[in-house]
Structure 1
């Protein structure tokens, strides 16, 4: 996967490989097909996963990224189950934001059954703010950068979204990307029993179907925003 300095339209952060695919794989596939430059950054290497290994998870992550059309995927080496709000962790995330200079940043929503997902949200929110502060970590060569906005996607939760993205044409690709994580979602003889191997992909599909039903499409992904959204022609029912 490309590792060079590429200015991104969208940069999505997750605590573990597969977080981003669960929450917004369809949205990524949608905008990647339109030529947008999209990157994923996994904060950890998911070394605490009950199933699979770090090596297997990284291979699966690359396969999933390829399916969705992601331009770059990075994995930081922050500790799985140790994503505490530390300055050294914030600085590493700031470095990624300043390097790829994304227009939009995504992170998991704060309210989630897995503590790492909420911790990832807090770390990324801090980093997005600090990345724009010119004198923050000023000894580094990378200049400051302020993304246009920060949005939050859902992983395990089912919350009332602030907005949704129609992924009716991308749902098949999203499921294909999730199925790339065989170690996590496929139940075998030696598989440790976790919530992920008991119909998890089907539950994600059902959630996106419910979000789609709310807006009159087949499937949609829901997102949260801390800032008001500016509506243009959509207010009159016109599709952009």
Structure 2
């Protein structure tokens, strides 16, 4: 049975780095996969304008999503300036109702980046409001089955659901490399995002560590919102 996954991420490279293998796996088996980008990542660059960076990063995000077998769509939040408000929560409600995903993937609540933390909270609360029949937005009510959170090794994130992505690790890495401007940015920006030093190698090592806990070569880890349905993602 075909299902629909939507990854809601703060920045254009987040989905590929943190759940790209899972997205590619579902796309390969015929599921509908969408990446919803909150921002175009316009703070992620050197010696140029926000508009120029946003244009490059949007193009890279579209190419990366295509590599995974996913559709790309964008909201218009500002990089580094995503705030929690009722208005922004309702924008997420309408976006999820429009996309109608069975499963939503997003950032874990404990994360160094403020955009990641705020996105996590907005998505979680929008998920709860999506099905309310008296809450009117442009799209009709919809109820996703579950939300799964991904996280950084530097946070308190401890996975409970593991997805074997052994056959899709190379696809994930190809998608990450589509973000050519960001591979350079993250590696040179290592004073803050130290876990991104040697981006692809570090990402591969993390997937290998998670895989060992499951007896597979590579894995990605998630925390489900509803524990009773934590096998739905697999």
Tell me which interval the TM-score lies in, with the shorter structure as reference length. Answer: 0.7 to 0.9
When structure 1 is superposed on structure 2, of 21-30 and 146-155 the one drifting more is 146-155
Which residue, out of 5, 9, 13, partners 2:4?
9
Alpha-carbon shift at residue 156 of structure 1 (Å) = 5.3
**Which residue number in structure 2 is paired with residue 3 of structure 1?**
none
Query: How many residues in Structure 1 have an aligned counterpart in Structure 2?
Result: 221
**Which residue number in structure 1 is paired with residue 140 of structure 2?**
143
Alignment of structure 1 residues 1-240 onto 2, 5 Å: 9-51=4-46, 53-70=53-70, 72-136=71-135, 138=136, 140-155=137-152, 157=154, 159-186=157-184, 193-195=188-190, 198-230=197-229
Provide structure 2 residue ranges, at least 5 long, that are not aligned to the other structure. Answer: 47-51
The alpha-carbon distance between structure 1 residues 88 and 68, as it changes in their structure 2 partners (threshold 3 A), is same
Q: For the pair shown, which has the larger CA radius of gyration, 1 or 2?
A: 1
State the Cα deviation string for residues 105-140 of structure 1 (Å, max 9, x = none). Answer: 11111111211111110010111111111112x1x3
Partners of 1:222 and 1:183 in 2: CA distance = 26
The alpha-carbon distance between structure 1 residues 185 and 63, as it changes in their structure 2 partners (threshold 3 A), is same
Aligned-CA RMSD value: 2.2
TM-score (norm. length: structure 1): 0.85
When structure 1 is superposed on structure 2, of 30-39 and 112-121 the one drifting more is 112-121
When structure 1 is superposed on structure 2, of 53-62 and 220-229 the one drifting more is 220-229
The alpha-carbon distance between structure 1 residues 76 and 95, as it changes in their structure 2 partners (threshold 3 A), is same
Contact 1:21 1:174 in 2 (8 A): yes
Alpha-carbon shift at residue 198 of structure 1 (Å) = 2.9
Partners of 1:50 and 1:105 in 2: CA distance = 29
Query: More helix per residue: 1 or 2?
Result: 2
Alpha-carbon shift at residue 39 of structure 1 (Å) = 0.4
Alpha-carbon shift at residue 155 of structure 1 (Å) = 4.0
When structure 1 is superposed on structure 2, of 148-157 and 60-69 the one drifting more is 148-157
Contact 1:8 1:39 in 2 (8 A): no
